[in-house]
Structure 1
Amino acid sequence: MDMDDTDKVAFLVADAKANGLRVLAPDINASSYRFEPVLETTEERARAIRYGLGAIRGLGEGAIMSILKAREGAPFKDLFDFCGRVDRRLVNKRAMEALVKAGAFDSIAPAGQMDRSRLLAGIELAVRKADDSSSNANQAGLFSFGEEEGGQHAPEVELPQVVPFSARECLLHEKVALGYCFSGSLFDDIASEMRRFAPTPLARAMPSKEPIWIAGVVGASRGQMTKRGMMRVIELDDGSAKLDVTVFNELYDARKNVLKVDEPLLVNARIENDEFSGGLRGAALEILTLTEARQRYARGVRIRVEAGKTQEAQVVTALREILVRVREQSSSRETQKSVVLLEARQGQQVCELKLPESFWVTPSDEVLGHLRGIVGERAVEVEYG
């Protein structure tokens, strides 16, 4: 297998899964250079393949050989142990970032995938600690004069406390490191919400004179010049099927800023037979981002906290920070805010508070992800009437 051909790697991984093989994520303690069968005989792992480190972008063969050599004595315990044992002339910060984004540190991170943001934020600290330990060891070698080795242990160091990545952010990082989203689809995490607006999966779409709402993530986009100007053909993918949708000149000019690869979109379109391909295609009449759909149809953003705990103060502080950032970054299309409902629970009692308008927010994935990082993934939801 050509490890640098990410399209081929993605195809072979999908083919393996379709044939009942489990493809295990890259792992700094378990992966070799190439993809290899897992030899354990337990039923769970009898038909599994371990992802090869050689298929991670930004990780050269020299860096991989250094990692494999360093772990011969014992598996890596954490990021700090890793930095202290590999040859960092070969395994530089860029290589470590690629490993984290690919999920190769998940198995030794305290919270697994949820710690990827902390691992990325901690690389600089881990490198600095490794340099300090090396410097101290050299000084000890000069002045200890026969003192017993191995008596000192470096104190444990905590990873920085930062907001966890959302599922979407993790997948986009995987795409950077591996060339595609390994652990899931960008549509999976938003599928149930998208189905509120576009209940028909692309696989079940049928030709119709009446337009329908369809949803998917933009997988590809290509331009085409016509006599009336530029139009765009985007490929929507919702996991069930892919559909080419034509965005004609006027709509393209108005919405070209959201026609980006990996962007989830809702499209009001007429579905037509495509005589060229023999399949179907769509003709877009209106395009909405998920944030815009939330602004148009949602009742508000509900945040659940435990009464009497510090979460309440954290939520208020977070909302203030978010509001400052939103005002700095908002465009004319992002000025509409959604109501924020704070639900405080204490035992069996529930109190709902509609926060003042000054605390209302734009219900974007960034804002929702920031709040979920404080109060928990399931404690924040967009509520529809």
Structure 2
Amino acid sequence: MTDVVLVVNTGSSSIKVATYALVDPEEPLWKGEIDGIGRTPTYESRSGKAPGPQQAVPSEFARGHRSLIHWLLERLRQEQPTLKVAAAGHRVVHGGRRFSAPALVTETVLEELHGLSALAPSHQPHNLAGIQAVADTWPEIPQVACFDTAFHRSQPRVAQLFALPRWLSDEGVLRYGFHGLSYEYIASVLPDYLGTRAEGRIVVAHLGHGASLCALRDRHSIATSMGFTALDGLVMGKRCGALDPGVVLHLLRDRGMSMQQVDALLSHESGLLGVSGISDDMRDLLESDDPHAREAIELFVYRALSQLGALVAQLGGLDGLVFTAGIGEHSPEIRRRLVAGLAWLGASLDPAANAAGASCISSPTSALPVHVIATDEEGVIARHTCRLTQAMTLS
């Protein structure tokens, strides 16, 4: 039997699990993923570099995240019977003010994290369902929560504040930022791509169904586009991004909508889906001739460029741009449009490299290096989990 650390990354529309050797958690031994939750969930696994066939998840398990996670963990046990799960690590979206580093899961910690669910209702309950599902399957193993907000605690206080009465800031109404595990990974590998420039002024564009930007200096977060919740910032698949708070007041006061209806509108009916009326998937919109699809894409790019410019101003210039996550890694057209919008910074694209998804997509004459780097949230979680559980054993 091989002792492994299990990583569970539970999102709103997908669940990813992976196993890593406990003593050297660099490359996954096995990966399994359920995608399309809320539609027709499909499952795919891979051992090493060989992917297995994609298959439908049995309908009796497609009732919710917890049952899907249980099904996925059972697949792990069936497909990898020689692996012994010794510890588990989880992506948890919101850590609030207290959790600025990974934490061992205890009953007290779990209770606190449930209390933060209202700040990330599309993610936090699913993250915590993953913790419970693992506890149901392996009740004796230690579990570690790794927080998407933790990476951004390095930001100066002014970057975390809203212009609200101080008592609200003191009670935790702050800009927390998200996608921190992704940004932490990108920061860790930047020297491999940018050399000494990696310590300079970098913007990372995590563009996926959820999307955000992060400004790095010395590979630490100094500002980001998301705020108190994961609704803020860029246009996303179903989320509205930055919004005049007066719109919310208008919907409640003048349109007679309930808080639940407004929440559903902003979290699940807006973004690319709401503007296009077609799809929340950028691939569908890029393939469509519908003018509403074109407008949704234009708005996505417009808002991304606007917020990218704001981060460049906070950095005082730009030494490199990195694309990551689903759209960032796989959409040459969105990368092309965004880099074209940065011509004022001297950025230019190598069309062939961009089309091929090369690691460096800027032209040889570009004043700004532009890279595509595949993120690895699961690897970050695995390493944090191994360190924390090993420290617990030594103590």
Bigger radius of gyration, 1 or 2? 1
**Same topology, TM > 0.5:** no
Q: Which has the higher contact order (CA 8 A, sep 6+)?
A: 2
TM-score (norm 2): 0.24
TM-score (norm 1): 0.24
